[in-house]
Structure 1
Amino acid sequence: MPKILRISTVPSSLNILLKGQLKFLNRYFEITAVSGSGIDLKEVQKREDVNIHVIEMQRQISPFKDLVSLIKLYTYFRKVKPELIHSITPKAGLLSMLAGKLAGVPVRIHTFTGLVFPYKTGIMQKLLIIMDRILCYCATDIFPEGKGVMNDLIKFNITDKPLKIIANGNVNGIDLDFFDPDVISYSEKQTLKTALSIKEDDFVFLFVGRLVRDKGINELVRAFNQLNSEVDNIKLLLVGPFEEELDPILTETKRSIEENSNIISVGFQKDVRPYFAISDIFVFPSYREGFPNVVLQSLAMNVPAIVTDISGSNEIINKHINGMIVDVKNELQLLEAMCEIYKNPAFLEKLIKNSRISVQKFGNKLVWEEIKELYMKKLNNY
């Protein structure tokens, strides 16, 4: 069978973003997952039943370490002679596409799951643009995860190669059998509510993701606090880890989370479905995304969403159909949307009815089949 390498900078990207996909593809190709070391890579090996290979790569720009990673990738490609390599995440994309071209790998695919440079300025933006242009030059095929990502690649003249979105967008699609509201029983929901001190008549706003500045946590907490000053039977449920090093939230935001008894922070949770199941509305005020899995998960669990007008989110949410859209960093609009959802049960019920049905076109099996056909076509053509 043809040898195919799936490559990411850190193993959590393979573990979380490509769940189930590698196992499916391994029926037709010899798949090896390549990334830095970590327990996530072992989990990928066990769950997906694929080979793994460790090559450490830095997420941040690190010239010496990046050169070492490039040499290791080149050496590995020359040794195993894969017919196709497919990368996700920025640094893995740059290094593997360059190493793949130098090593003579016939098919070199990169999927852009999000872009950083549109949100940077000055020298850093120029440097990131140059890096992505090198990546695209070295790749044989470029696949943006959604329309917003594709438009930015065109707008900033990153590549003149044809750009195609796989299926209807998203790197892996949504597992509609797993993210199904019916799998969480009433007793499970009641037990979790009791454990979190959520009363039966409480209205629950939910956020799932890293608790960092770029996810809009500062605006979300301030908007919630303002609404909470007017009404008491509301809760803000935060599911995800704090990141103090890369993109920390404001000190006063963290203090509010710790001191407000109506804000419940539960940290990272491996299974987020029970938290969706006890929530009324999902709030995702992120500054930038590629094509956010978590919004798909929310809708699949029949929980409408308030999102910001950014790539991916605005491709999933239809305003006033399955959620609401507000401007990035606009705390007032966010507060108004939260108020409208809270005070208008009939409107919320309409959104709920449209939520799960709106993500049927993003089913993961559709994405997997299209990737399989793409690989076969590319391998037959080289």
Structure 2
Amino acid sequence: MTDIAAEFPPLDRADRPRASGRERVLVVACLTSSLVNFRYDILREIARRAEVLACAPDDDPETVEILRGIGVGFQRIPMDRVGASPLADLRTLAALVRICRSFRPDVIFPYTMKPIIYGCLAARVTGVPRRVPMCTALGYVYVDPEPGLRLRVLRWISTMLYRVALPGVQEMLIYNEGDRRTFLRHRLMPVTIPLSRVPGSGINLECFPQVPVPEGPPVFLMVARLLRMKGVPEYVAAARAIKRRFPDARCQLVGPFDDNPTSIHPEELERYVAEGCIEYLGTTRDIRPYLARASVFVLPSHCEGISRSVLEAMSTGRAIVTTDGIGCAEPILEGKTGFVVPVGNAEALADAMAKFAEDPALAASMGAAARRHAEETFDVNKVNRILLGKLGLGHIPPRDPVPARAATPEPA
């Protein structure tokens, strides 16, 4: 059997004397890049008030260096993000138990499914005083109303794991009403634990300034991992219809392939591009230039927490077309900042997109309203104050600020 301790050695800093009066916060993620792309601002604020160690599985030197620049330590952990191997998950749990015993956190702040389950289990075993998990989205395991045998088994296992891991947590943070209902319907944790909605990860309005909508034929942009659950097939079908009605319109797609079970295969994407209905622009670590060149942002996803890519588009001043899937419409003011269509309905999606081709002024007016909504509701500074309070750190005076950094986001 692999020696976990040898593969992931303990941090020297964990055994050093605790900084004077400073609490320790352990953050657990399933994707190293997400610590910067989605959590940079809150990690920066936590690090001004506490000693912070972030854990994630990927070897990502650029992210680690950025974290170091804001005073956040990093430790790799073994974690199979989408796999279902019990042995692999036991390795994850063992590594997190060891880190909890070594780092001795006062607070653990895990987000997404596996970090929540195994981070909270490790914290429960080792007696971490405050456990505040954040469910950014329950995901495909709980979305399908008619799951097959494999998904039913996976759902049952996930439910049992949540029920074992979550007793004793102080509060479960969630992004949307749909996930709140799912937590209650499946009894994923004791009813005595508060379920509190927070407005997503927030958006840094300075990093994503408002940009005028370009003139000319509409340019539709979808940014997401290339998954069926993100609505890529519906977007392609809608793009076909739009190109037939409005030949000058452009439908662009940005995002990486993924090892998720609902992933689009490269050969399938090549066929879509060969048809001429969409333009695949690859992947990027900075989506802002693509947003600046787009007229309207489209995300026909089947479920989200609160989509970070939608918040980025709103901050840039782009109208949104999305679905009524769980969490997808949370940031949208229907008819004011965008349109919401039935999930899985490519025809309705195309009809909503067509409105922007029929009325060239609509993208600018809705985009301006989207920016105002982002300022009023999703400003990252407002969201961070909420999260600091939930973590029990809101009363701690911050140290001298670390200079803010322009985020380099990736698709959600």
The verdict on a shared fold, with TM-score over 0.5 as the criterion, is yes
Quickly say closer, same or farther: Cα 1:86–1:245, change in 2 above 3 A: closer
Counterpart residue number, 2:111: 88
Of residues 226-235 and 38-47 in structure 1, the stretch that sits farther from structure 2 once superposed is 38-47
Q: How far apart, CA to CA, are the structure 1 residues paired with 2:240 and 2:272?
A: 10
AA matched with 2:170: T
- Mark the runs of 5 or more structure 2 residues left unpaired by the alignment: 1-21, 397-412
**3-state SS of the aligned residue for 2:226?**
coil
Measured against aligned partners, the alpha-carbon deviations of 1:51-96 in whole angstroms (never above 9, x if no partner) come to 1112111122211121122122112211221111110111111111
**3-state SS of the aligned residue for 1:314?**
coil
1:57 matched to 2:79? The reply is yes
Quickly say closer, same or farther: Cα 1:72–1:351, change in 2 above 3 A: same
Q: How far apart, CA to CA, are the structure 1 residues paired with 2:69 and 2:90?
A: 32
Counterpart residue number, 1:209: 224
Percent of paired sites with the same residue:
25
1:106 matched to 2:121? The reply is no
1:19 matched to 2:35? The reply is no
Counterpart residue number, 2:176: 146
AA matched with 1:71: A
AA matched with 1:46: R
AA matched with 2:76: V
Contact between 1:12 and 1:41, CA under 8 Å: does it hold in 2? yes
**3-state SS of the aligned residue for 1:105?**
coil
Quickly say closer, same or farther: Cα 1:253–1:326, change in 2 above 3 A: farther
- Mark the runs of 5 or more structure 1 residues left unpaired by the alignment: 190-199
Q: How far apart, CA to CA, are the structure 2 residues paired with 1:130 and 1:335?
A: 41
**3-state SS of the aligned residue for 1:376?**
coil
Q: How far apart, CA to CA, are the structure 2 residues paired with 1:304 and 1:245?
A: 29
Counterpart residue number, 2:409: none
Aligned equivalent of 1:76, options 92, 99, 115: 99
**Structure showing the higher helix proportion among its residues:** 1
Alignment of 1:95-244 (within 5 A): 95-116=118-139, 117-120=141-144, 121=147, 122-137=152-167, 139-159=169-189, 160=191, 161-166=193-198, 169-170=199-200, 172-182=201-211, 201-243=216-258
1:4 matched to 2:4? The reply is no
Which stretches of structure 1, 4 residues or more, deviate above 4 A after TM superposition?
A: 250-253, 377-380
In the TM superposition, residue 338 of structure 1 has moved relative to its aligned partner by 1.3
Counterpart residue number, 1:196: none
Contact between 1:213 and 1:250, CA under 8 Å: does it hold in 2? no
Q: How far apart, CA to CA, are the structure 1 residues paired with 2:231 and 2:153?
A: 25
Q: How far apart, CA to CA, are the structure 1 residues paired with 2:395 and 2:98?
A: 22
In the TM superposition, residue 41 of structure 1 has moved relative to its aligned partner by 4.3
In the TM superposition, residue 31 of structure 1 has moved relative to its aligned partner by 0.8
In the TM superposition, residue 253 of structure 1 has moved relative to its aligned partner by 4.8
**Does 1 or 2 have the higher relative contact order (CA < 8 Å, sep 6+)?**
2
Quickly say closer, same or farther: Cα 1:33–1:257, change in 2 above 3 A: same
Quickly say closer, same or farther: Cα 1:99–1:25, change in 2 above 3 A: same
In the TM superposition, residue 223 of structure 1 has moved relative to its aligned partner by 1.2
Contact between 1:218 and 1:250, CA under 8 Å: does it hold in 2? no
In the TM superposition, residue 379 of structure 1 has moved relative to its aligned partner by 9.9
Contact between 2:49 and 2:393, CA under 8 Å: does it hold in 1? no
Q: How far apart, CA to CA, are the structure 2 residues paired with 1:87 and 1:68?
A: 17
Give the TM-score taking structure 1 as reference length: 0.88
**Cα RMSD, aligned residues only:** 2.3
Quickly say closer, same or farther: Cα 1:78–1:353, change in 2 above 3 A: closer
Counterpart residue number, 1:42: 64
Give the TM-score taking structure 2 as reference length: 0.82
Quickly say closer, same or farther: Cα 1:285–1:136, change in 2 above 3 A: same
Contact between 2:219 and 2:295, CA under 8 Å: does it hold in 1? yes
Quickly say closer, same or farther: Cα 1:145–1:48, change in 2 above 3 A: farther
Contact between 1:321 and 1:354, CA under 8 Å: does it hold in 2? yes
Q: How far apart, CA to CA, are the structure 1 residues paired with 2:63 and 2:313?
A: 26
1:367 matched to 2:383? The reply is yes
**3-state SS of the aligned residue for 1:345?**
coil
AA matched with 2:77: I
AA matched with 1:375: L
Q: How far apart, CA to CA, are the structure 2 residues paired with 1:175 and 1:235?
A: 28
1:376 matched to 2:392? The reply is yes
Counterpart residue number, 2:290: 275
Q: How far apart, CA to CA, are the structure 2 residues paired with 1:103 and 1:250?
A: 42
